[in-house]
Structure 1
Amino acid sequence: MEELRKAIISVARKVRAHRSLYEKNEEAVKQHLIGEIFQALGWDWNNPEEVRPEERTEDGRADYALILDGNVFAYVEAKNLGVNILKNDKPLRQLGRYCFNSGVRYGILTNGAVWIALKAFEEGSRLSDRILLITNIEEESLNKLVLKLSLLSKSRIWDIERLTSLLKALELSFAGLRKEGYSEEMLIEYLTSKGGTNLVPVEDLTGTEAPKAAYVYDNGWKLLPLPERSIKGVLLAVLLYMEKNSHGPQKEEIRKAYEHIRAMTISPRTALEILKKLEEEERLRISVEL
């Protein structure tokens, strides 16, 4: 996922810096944007056993064919960034014809920024009903982009229908519960909390506990490795987390604080007071598993 994350950031940066080029030059979109994303998705972009450019079909040439087990699994159609593939359905219909007349089940349409995945045929359905996935590198959050685009990866595209169905069900359920008055934070915590564990907020600790693990809330509860099973160990773990997410002088200050506390003997109550102060000043949420 990290390679895909880096590729998305890189492509977004290129689009911002060279928009006029990509709005006119489809070849630049293919080479600079689309190829980088597919490489990060695990496709060997220069291997004809996985990716074939200019694949002939009965209705014309598809820009690329993605190959799995020796067969064409999906066609990819590329447009320049000046083509609004969300409003202009001609490119999507063209892609659908390529797929349908060749017996290829899936198609991917992209202008480098917007990505659309299509199921080419299904009896009794309209084109819009067969769209599996839409994502936009210029508008959606990075985490959302990584998750959605990962469904086009070589390792996951086999299950794209099942996975997109699960994702849509999650989005609908989440939106429904939000309308019922449940907060986004509560729902995320519900989905990401560890079943069967006894997580206790730092504010509810007394200092006499022997924690099994420490957690910090960062778009979900993240496990922090404990240097030792004690309140001091929790404090050290939190300082390491803060250091990892800091830069420059602040990073150095946190490292010095970590080394100082690690070398000294402090009571559990003192360590607990420092943790509570960090929560307040750094707006952290810290819990431990007992």
Structure 2
Amino acid sequence: MIDKKKLKENIKRLIEKYELSKKSFSISKYSEEETKKDFILPLFASLGWDVTNKNEVTAEESQSSGRVDYGFYLEGRIKFYLEAKSLKTDLHREEYANQAIRYSWNKGVTWAVLTDFESIKVFNVQDISKKLGDKLFLKFLIHSILKG
């Protein structure tokens, strides 16, 4: 069971680090790898995922359409694939959503997550014939986690 108080404290620290990076203009220097290491993996670790256990979180899984950044597993079964982008990336570009969706669809996985840490988009990819906007299940900014 996740301790909600500790969860909020951890996320608050990540957000403060992110805000400092924004204020110092170093956000534009963050690569995708640095974003994953400094923000995305710590976020999912705070949410209870063991990001150091390859049976729970895999990195760079090979697929026919490329390599997905992370696969998240519970009891040996894939739950979702996550496509990470750098802090400076504009997640509104359709190509990024399509990339995340394609990775999950190709492996028969229902859920796809796209994030640059600040923004998180969750897609239900069961019906590939649906328009992109209809696949978007949930979208939120990381700051909103602290409000709940």
If the length of structure 2 is used for normalisation, what is the TM-score? 0.88
Contact 1:58-1:102 at 8 Å conserved across structures: no
Query: Aligned partners of 1:108 and 1:135: how far apart in 2?
Result: 12
Higher strand share: 2
Task: Specify the alignment match of 2:37 in structure 1.
Answer: 31
Contact 2:122-2:138 at 8 Å conserved across structures: yes
Contact 2:56-2:72 at 8 Å conserved across structures: yes
Q: Which amino acid is 1:142 matched to? A: L
CA deviations 1:117-167 (Å, max 9, x no partner) are 1111226522211211111125x47224xxxxxxxxxxxxxxxxxxxxxxx
Tell me how large the CA RMSD over aligned residues is: 1.6
Q: Which amino acid is 2:134 matched to? A: D
Query: Aligned partners of 1:67 and 1:93: how far apart in 2?
Result: 22
Task: Specify the alignment match of 1:136 in structure 2.
Answer: 141
Partner of 1:80, secondary structure, is: coil
Higher helix share: 1
Contact 1:115-1:136 at 8 Å conserved across structures: yes
Task: Specify the alignment match of 1:9 in structure 2.
Answer: 12
Contact 2:105-2:128 at 8 Å conserved across structures: no
Task: Specify the alignment match of 1:76 in structure 2.
Answer: 82
Partner of 1:55, secondary structure, is: strand
Displacement over 6 Å in runs of 4+: none
Gaps of 5+ in 2: none
Counting aligned pairs with the same residue, the percent is 29
State how 1:165-180 maps to structure 2 within 5 Å.
Answer: none
Which structure ranks higher in relative contact order (CA pairs < 8 Å, sequence separation ≥ 6)?
2
Task: Specify the alignment match of 2:116 in structure 1.
Answer: 111
Query: Aligned partners of 2:42 and 2:128: how far apart in 1?
Result: 35
If the length of structure 1 is used for normalisation, what is the TM-score? 0.46
2:71 is aligned with 1:65 = yes
Query: Aligned partners of 2:145 and 2:58: how far apart in 1?
Result: 31
Number of residue pairs aligned between Structure 1 and Structure 2: 142
Task: Specify the alignment match of 2:105 in structure 1.
Answer: 100
Structure exhibiting the larger radius of gyration computed from Cα positions: 1
Query: Aligned partners of 2:133 and 2:97: how far apart in 1?
Result: 10
Partner of 1:18, secondary structure, is: helix
Gaps of 5+ in 1: 145-290
